[in-house]
A and B are shown apart, each in its own frame.
Chain A
């Protein structure tokens, strides 16, 4: 099974779970594949900036992100399902972000 077929199969599985009735066209599949690669590449490049904290930490996190990405591929259909217009999801991420921001600002600055 090629990577393309694998991605299509996964998208279909996720769509079935979400009970969506959108047809899977070539455009949908290639868009999803591009988004997937962009997401993984961007995150991996961003993680390289951890070299400023400690080179060893950077290597560990890069390996971890790479392994997680390989194990959970394709990420985009799941991300799309999470980033929908459901108010419950929005509130969940807003409260989560508030907690992270307050914790990081407090902790980050006290140690900065």
Chain B
């Protein structure tokens, strides 16, 4: 057991609580928050792969000291191998995802502390708390523990929206939490049904019970549980019918907050999506359902993005559309398809954060995100405009940027799976994504500046520019050397097939 595995969750929670106590001590908050945020992406890189059992309660089979004296009554049954503790599993895929989450969290916190004149301990608390929750969701092999952090993540997201102070943000936050009050308890009911049938909350043990025939996997109660857990998955990730509220959530957060919120959504989608595949892959319908929902997300997200006039809403809907690509990869169910889906998730997190922070500079200078009121921003800062343009190219999948590689893999995976229609739709929607982005880019940056547009004399903070440069470098490096990412994801993907 590596003690650093739980530290990935404990550190952000501890610093969140501590920063909350320091509210109004601006300078201390800033220094401590930046140091902690900087440590977040470093921890997964120095942690050894392995399993952590909370309380040290390893399965009896792994604890020879205790196992030696046990009667055959126990050693010959499943009790001998079941996991009594809350178990966290850390492998190469988790390492990569937690590293990227930590990186986005660092730049979101770093940017927010520099763009805000008075740093808020409460706002930073929420960002750390959300990051800790999503890290736990990625690590946990215990479905009830996952649910607890699922709820904490939802509350942290609501807090980030409320704390933004954007017009109507409280109303949107209230709607999000009310919808969560439907989806969350239903997901918990699904987990309770699984517990009732299998007598277990450890996912590995549940799979063992299904595979060994200890439990009939086609039991109607299990089918109902699958439906309810899938419903909770749709809420947490923002897939239809929750795409409207999710895009509203992004648009009501500050740009750095939205950059982090979308990372939460993507990684929750991946974590719960993988659990659904692990638990229910024996039901072929589960993969069909994932593909169907993902297809709907892609079509609705991207077509709704074109007709929006608020650039935060445009990126919000595009982000929802991009979630569909990830889902398609998972739903194809092949090792190559799942790797492509996970690769797309990593790319989407980076690109969408890049876009939110990039376009956020326009909001910083003009205090508006309505594209009908904007124009001529290219003259204000052409270098930032160029970086935003490249971020849009990356999202649309233009080579040599990162999403080109993942989208190409997804199209190849769909062809290999005998579903060329999915490949055609993905290409078509990538073209429309490009068009949508160019429409927004043209109206904000390239057309003449409207006479009534007031541009404030705020200088874009260097931290924001640094964030954009780092995201651009990552997009180019992953685009040129995709194996850096895919090699970390292949083991997980192969294990799911």
Contact = CB atoms under 8 A, between A and B. Distances in A.
Nearest to B235: A94
Interface string A32-58: 101100110111011011000000000
Contacts of A22: 309
A93 B300 CA distance: 14
B302 A97 contact: no
Contacts of A87: 175, 178
Nearest to A106: B223
B145 interface: no
Contacts of A3: none
B288 A108 contact: yes
A35 B172 contact: no
A42 B429 contact: yes
B226 A85 contact: no
A93 B241 contact: yes
A45 B414 CA distance: 14
Interface in A65-112: 76, 79-80, 83-85, 87, 89-91, 93-98, 101-102, 104-106, 108-110, 112
B178 A85 contact: no
Chain B interface: which size bin? 35 or more
Contacts of A109: 218, 223, 226, 283, 285-286
B452 to A, nearest CB: 15
Contacts of A95: 182
B487 to A, nearest CB: 32
A111 B321 CA distance: 31
A38 B226 CA distance: 32
B470 interface: no
Interface in B177-233: 178-179, 182-183, 186, 218, 220, 223-224, 226-228, 230-231
Contacts of A35: 303-304, 306-307
A101 B227 contact: yes
A96 B284 CA distance: 23
Given A87-B178, A112-B284, A80 B231 contact: no
Contact of B244 (A38, A90, A110): A90
Contact of B424 (A45, A101, A110): A45
Interface of B: 172, 175, 178-179, 182-183, 186, 218, 220, 223-224, 226-228, 230-231, 234, 240-245, 248, 283-286, 288-289, 295, 298-300, 302-304, 306-307, 309, 419, 421-422, 424-425, 428-429, 432, 435, 439, 443
Given A32-B306, A46-B421, 15 more contacts: A31-B306, A35-B303, A41-B428, A42-B299, A76-B303, A79-B304, A87-B175, A90-B241, A94-B183, A96-B241, A98-B231, A102-B231, A105-B230, A106-B223, A109-B223
30 contacts: A31-B307, A32-B307, A38-B302, A38-B432, A39-B299, A42-B295, A42-B428, A46-B299, A46-B425, A79-B303, A90-B175, A90-B179, A90-B244, A93-B240, A94-B179, A96-B241, A97-B234, A98-B182, A98-B186, A102-B224, A102-B227, A102-B228, A105-B227, A105-B285, A105-B289, A106-B224, A106-B227, A109-B218, A109-B285, A112-B284
A-B pairs with lowest CB-CB distance, top 3: A105-B227, A93-B241, A108-B285
